[in-house]
C-alpha cells in the first residue's frame, strides 16, 4: 500500500517538475524570440517536444528525461530576461521601501534651538 | 496719458467673482492623476480573464464561465494550464512565483489571485 502511495507521490512530483520546466522554457522562448510572430512557431515547437514524450510510463525514464530537459534549459537560458519591474530581479525591486515605523519627521526648520 | 486711460478702463471692467466656494473651486480633474484608488474592479478582472480564456484556441468559448475548471470542465492539458497562466501574467503585468502558478487550476482561483494581488494593473 505504501508502495502505491509513494509511487503516486513520485509521479505527482514529476508532473510538477514538468509543469515548472515548461513554464520556464516558455518564458525563455519569449525572451529569445521577442517578436510575437517569431514566438508563436517557437512555442509550438516547444509544445511538440513536450507532447512527444507525453505517454512514457516508466518512472526512471521520466526522471532521466526531466533531468535532460532541465540541463538543456539551463544551457539555453537568456542572459537578460524580462522580469516585471517590481518583482525580485527587476529594476524597481526594493527601490522605495517603506520606511520603518517609529521614525517621524520633525518639522521645525528655523525653530531649532541648538 | 496712457496710464490715465488705462486706469479709467480698468475702473469700468468688472470680473465676475465666484462667491460660492465649495464645489466649483475644486475641479474634477484634480484627482484624476492620483493612483490612490487604483485597484482593479472585480468585474473588470472577471471580464479580462474570461476574454483570455475564450481566445485560447483549444477552448470552446461558449463553455467559459467564471467558475470553470481548466482541466475538468474545459478538457485542457496541464501544459495548456501553464500557457493560460502565462497569458494572465502578461495581461495583468504580474509575476506569479512558480509554486503559486502551479496551484491555479480554475477561473475562480485565477480571479481571486489577480483581484487580491496588490500590483495587478
What pLDDT score was predicted for residue B30? Answer: 60
What is the value of pTM for the model shown?
0.76
pLDDT tens over chain B, length 121 residues:
667 778 777 777 776 665 555 555 566 666 666 565 678 889 999 999 999 999 998 888 888 999 999 988 888 889 999 999 999 999 999 999 999 999 999 999 999 999 999 888 8
Nearest to B93 by CA among A82, A54, A14: A82
Those residues whose C-beta lies under 8 Å from the C-beta of residue B112, and which sit 6 or more positions away, are none
* Beta strands in chain B, from DSSP E residues, in sequence order: none
B85 touching A (Cβ < 8 Å): yes
How far is the first Cα of chain B from the last one, in angstroms, to the nearest whole number? 64
| Residue A17 in grid coordinates | 517538475
Interval B83-92: pLDDT, tens: 999 999 999 9
How far, CA to CA in Å, does A18 sit from each of A13, A23, A54, A59?
9, 9, 11, 13
Interface mutation target, options B90, B95, B104, chain A, most CBs of A under 10 Å = B95
Rounded to two decimals, the ipTM of the complex is 0.80
Averages of pLDDT over runs of 10 residues in chain A (114 residues) are: 83 92 94 93 93 86 92 93 90 87 84 76
Residue that is written with C-alpha cell 526512471 in the block: A60
B102 touching A (Cβ < 8 Å): yes
Nearest to B108 by CA among B80, B55, B68: B68
- B contacts of A11 (beta carbons < 8 Å): none
- A contacts of B56 (beta carbons < 8 Å): none
Nearest to B115 by CA among B42, B26, B56: B42
Amino acid at each position: 500500500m505504501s508502495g502505491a502511495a509513494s509511487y503516486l507521490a513520485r509521479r505527482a512530483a514529476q508532473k510538477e517538475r514538468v509543469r515548472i520546466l515548461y513554464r520556464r522554457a516558455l518564458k525563455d522562448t519569449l525572451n529569445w524570440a521577442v517578436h510575437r510572430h517569431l514566438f508563436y512557431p517557437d512555442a509550438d515547437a516547444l509544445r511538440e517536444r513536450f507532447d512527444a514524450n507525453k505517454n512514457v510510463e516508466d518512472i526512471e525514464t521520466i526522471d532521466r528525461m526531466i533531468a535532460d530537459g532541465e540541463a538543456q534549459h539551463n544551457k539555453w537560458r537568456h542572459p537578460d530576461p524580462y522580469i516585471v519591474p517590481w518583482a525580485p530581479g527587476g529594476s524597481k525591486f526594493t527601490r522605495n521601501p517603506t520606511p520603518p515605523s517609529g521614525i517621524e519627521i520633525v518639522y521645525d526648520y528655523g525653530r531649532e534651538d541648538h | 496719458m496712457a496710464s490715465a486711460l488705462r486706469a479709467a478702463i480698468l475702473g469700468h471692467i468688472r470680473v465676475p467673482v465666484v462667491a460660492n466656494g465649495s464645489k466649483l473651486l475644486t475641479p474634477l480633474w484634480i484627482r484624476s492623476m492620483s493612483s490612490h484608488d487604483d485597484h482593479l474592479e472585480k468585474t473588470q478582472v472577471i471580464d479580462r480573464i474570461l476574454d483570455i480564456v475564450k481566445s485560447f484556441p483549444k477552448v470552446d468559448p461558449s463553455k467559459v464561465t467564471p467558475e470553470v475548471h481548466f482541466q475538468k470542465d474545459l478538457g485542457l492539458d496541464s501544459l495548456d494550464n501553464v500557457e493560460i497562466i502565462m497569458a494572465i501574467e502578461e495581461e495583468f503585468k504580474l509575476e506569479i512565483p512558480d509554486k503559486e502558478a502551479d496551484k491555479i487550476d480554475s477561473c475562480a482561483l485565477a480571479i481571486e489571485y489577480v483581484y487580491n494581488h496588490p500590483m495587478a494593473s
